[in-house]
Amino acid sequence: GQNIDQPTEMTATEGAIVQINCTYQTSGFNGLFWYQQHAGEAPTFLSYNVLDGLEEKGRFSSFLSRSKGYSYLLLKELQMKDSASYLCAVFSGGYNKLIFGAGTRLAVHP
C-alpha cells in the first residue's frame, strides 16, 4: 500500500529551529517533495530530494534517506509567516502522481 506519515501539528517559537519528519512506504519512488501551504492558498514548492542527503536552500533544508523511507524538513530562524501547513509528497514515477501525507500544521509563536 501507499502510506506517508507526518505529525499533525507542531508549535515553535519565533527565531527557533523546527524539524518536521516524514516517513513513507510507497510502491514506487522517484523523489520526495516538500510543499508549504497557507490557509486558503495554493501549495508552494519548498524542496525536492531524489538522492540521499541534505539539500539546503536558505532557511530551509530537507533530508532524505531512501533506505529508511524517511525525510525531514528543517526550518531555521523561524518567522511568524512560517505558520502554515507543510506537506510531504512522494512522486511515484511509474504512475505520474504525487502521494501526499496529511500535512503538518506548524504554529509559530512570538
Residues that bind other proteins (CB under 8 A): 30-31, 33, 35, 41-45, 48, 50, 87, 89, 91, 93, 95-103
Q: Which is nearer to other proteins, 70 or 100 (CB)?
A: 100
* Cell reading at 33: 517533495
**Locus of grid cell 512560517:** 82
Taking the complex as a whole, the smallest distance from the CB of residue 33 to other proteins amounts, in Å, to 7
Q: Which is nearer to other proteins, 35 or 72 (CB)?
A: 35
Q: Which is nearer to other proteins, 24 or 35 (CB)?
A: 35
Residue 44 buriedness (CB in 10 A; 0-12 / 13-18 / 19+):
exposed
Taking the complex as a whole, the smallest distance from the CB of residue 98 to other proteins amounts, in Å, to 7
Query: What value, to the nearest 5°, has the Cα angle with vertex 99 and ends 42 and 29?
Result: 130
Strands 32-37 and 44-49: antiparallel
Taking the complex as a whole, the smallest distance from the CB of residue 18 to other proteins amounts, in Å, to 20
